[in-house]
Amino acid sequence: MFLQGYWILRSWQTHIRNYNHRVHQAAVHTANRLEKGHVRRMLKKHRKNHRADRDRKVVINMSNTVNGRNRELIIINSDTIISQITEGPPSNEKETEVSTTWMAKIDEVKLEEFLNDTDLLLKIKHLPIDSIVAMELGKENIKHSYSYELLTADELEHIHQKRDRKRNRVVVPLFRETVDDQPVFLKLTVNNQEASIPAWFIAMIGLSVLFSGAMIWAFWYVITGLIRQKKISEIKSDFINNMTHEFKTPISTISLAVDSIDHEKVINDPERIGYYSSIIRGENKRMNKQVERVLQAAQLEKGKLIFNKKEVDLIPILQDVILSFDLILKEKEGKVVFNELPGEAVVNGDENHLYNVFNNIIDNAVKYCNSAPEIIITVNAQNKNCRIEFNDNGIGMSISELKHLFSRFYRVNQGDLHNVKGFGLGLSYVKYVVEEHGGQISVNSKPNKGSQFVLTFPLV
């Protein structure tokens, strides 16, 4: 990415240098044409009134060197004078030797007058400078706004004290050897603030950004994929550990009960056999329930849960669930407060799945509590919706835990402790069932301040 930025910067700098060179070339060519125009004008002015010696050859050197080019004015013949201005060897392939010839008649005395014209600056200003500048800029494919000035050396020194980065300014000399050695300069200024970025440069930046974006996206995708795989691996590991503990306890209990039944002191005692049989039956039921939960999770993932919906009243279902926790709450000295506000809570739903939803929420409230559980359930059926709130005094959850609360196999982190039973499948099932009934579920919780689950179902 840094290498791409470096090459883009280098390309832009090269583009700017080429642009500045073209501006300079336009200024030099403009100066050349102004000089030639002035020479042409002076020769035409004097050709009717003056004659020179037919056999004399006069060579006038006009020392004007710009970028290594020497200009020379040659006048030959006695009555017909050929004025030739030549430039030295070209500095690059695009430049060619410029040779222009005029036919004129001129007197030697007037030649000296021509070279020492005190009104040179004034006379040059009468030339079509603007059209010449525009033409030369056009040849260099420069289409930006511009301005020009003809300056003396004193004026030029004052101009050099100012610098404008938004403008490309070029100064080139015109005739260097004039009266009192006062040279004339052409200052050409091209406005850069409206300079357009070339299409090739935009395309290069676009491709670079696209390539960099693809690289960043690929890097992000790989990193997030690795993080996701790591989390999945941790979740699977936790699930296996939890499942092992969930099944290990009832299996050990059943094994112990079977061994006890086989004992000679128990085998002839029907009462004790009945006791151990009830233990085996209860633990077997418990394992059955855990297996059903795992199968339920598999069906949930494939979207194959079957719903037998009909009009059901949520109040009796809630009361049955609360009653099923009566013994557990008494053992833990907990309680459930049920608040039923006026209104019928009749919805179109599956009674069994709704029972499981309420059972899971209350079961979590009881399990994730370090003190005597206190659960407040409020049912409010109005405005075409039934709102059910479950408030508990449990351990609560952090914001990061809330983000993953409804993920399959996710359990609130308690280190390596396994005092809380379950696979982390309950709340993912709860969310799925609620949404299948056209409802919504939300959770508010803070660590050590309990949790609030809010379920909303559309009324019939």
Reported confidence tier of residue 111, pLDDT bands at 50, 70, 90: very low
Burial of 327 (0-12, 13-18, 19+ CB in 10 A): exposed
Q: Where are the chain's structural domains? A: 2-191, 206-303, 305-458
CA nearest to 395, candidates 367, 361, 368: 368
Reported confidence tier of residue 117, pLDDT bands at 50, 70, 90: low
Considering only residues 138 and 296, tell me which one the structure prediction assigns the higher pLDDT.
138
**How confident is the model over 246-267, as a mean pLDDT?**
81
pLDDT recorded at residue 394: 92
pLDDT at 9 > cutoff 80: no
Task: Lowest mean pLDDT of 197-206, 216-225, 365-374, 390-399, name the range.
Answer: 197-206
Considering only residues 121 and 211, tell me which one the structure prediction assigns the higher pLDDT.
211
Residues 16-41 pLDDT 10s: 788 888 888 888 888 888 777 766 76
Reported confidence tier of residue 100, pLDDT bands at 50, 70, 90: very low
pLDDT recorded at residue 196: 57
pLDDT recorded at residue 452: 95
pLDDT recorded at residue 158: 63
pLDDT recorded at residue 223: 93
Instruction: Show the DSSP H helices in 303-410 as ranges.
Output: 314-324, 326-331, 351-367, 399-403
pLDDT at 391 > cutoff 90: yes
Using CA atoms, how far apart are residues 452 and 445, in angstroms rounded to an integer? 6
pLDDT at 424 > cutoff 70: no
Q: Is the domain covering 206-303 a CATH 3.30.413.10 domain? A: no
pLDDT recorded at residue 179: 45
pLDDT recorded at residue 58: 45
pLDDT at 309 > cutoff 70: yes
pLDDT at 453 > cutoff 90: yes
Using CA atoms, how far apart are residues 460 and 450, in angstroms rounded to an integer? 32
Considering only residues 275 and 157, tell me which one the structure prediction assigns the higher pLDDT.
275
pLDDT recorded at residue 146: 79
**How confident is the model over 306-311, as a mean pLDDT?**
90
Cα 53 versus chain centre, distance = 82
pLDDT at 73 > cutoff 70: no
pLDDT recorded at residue 182: 62
pLDDT recorded at residue 165: 52
pLDDT at 6 > cutoff 50: yes
pLDDT at 384 > cutoff 80: yes
272's enclosing H/E stretch is helix 270-302
The DSSP bridge partners found for residue 313 are: 346
Considering only residues 381 and 302, tell me which one the structure prediction assigns the higher pLDDT.
381
For the chain, the average pLDDT equals: 74
Considering only residues 367 and 152, tell me which one the structure prediction assigns the higher pLDDT.
367
Rounded to the nearest 10 degrees, how much is the dihedral formed by the CA atoms of 115, 118, 121, 124? -50
The CA distances from residue 425 to 69, 280, 404, 422, in Å, are: 89, 25, 12, 8
Considering only residues 230 and 423, tell me which one the structure prediction assigns the higher pLDDT.
230
Residues 320-343 pLDDT 10s: 999 888 878 988 999 999 998 888
Task: Lowest mean pLDDT of 55-59, 324-328, 369-373, 392-396, name the range.
Answer: 55-59
* pLDDT cut 70: percent of the chain above it: 67
Contact of 450 with 438, CB cutoff 8 Å: no
Contact of 408 with 424, CB cutoff 8 Å: yes
pLDDT at 204 > cutoff 60: yes
Superfamily (CATH H level) for 305-458: Histidine kinase-like ATPase, C-terminal domain (3.30.565.10)
pLDDT at 415 > cutoff 60: no
DSSP character string of 189-210: EEE-TTPPPPHHHHHHHHHHHH
pLDDT at 45 > cutoff 90: no
Reported confidence tier of residue 84, pLDDT bands at 50, 70, 90: very low
230's enclosing H/E stretch is helix 199-261
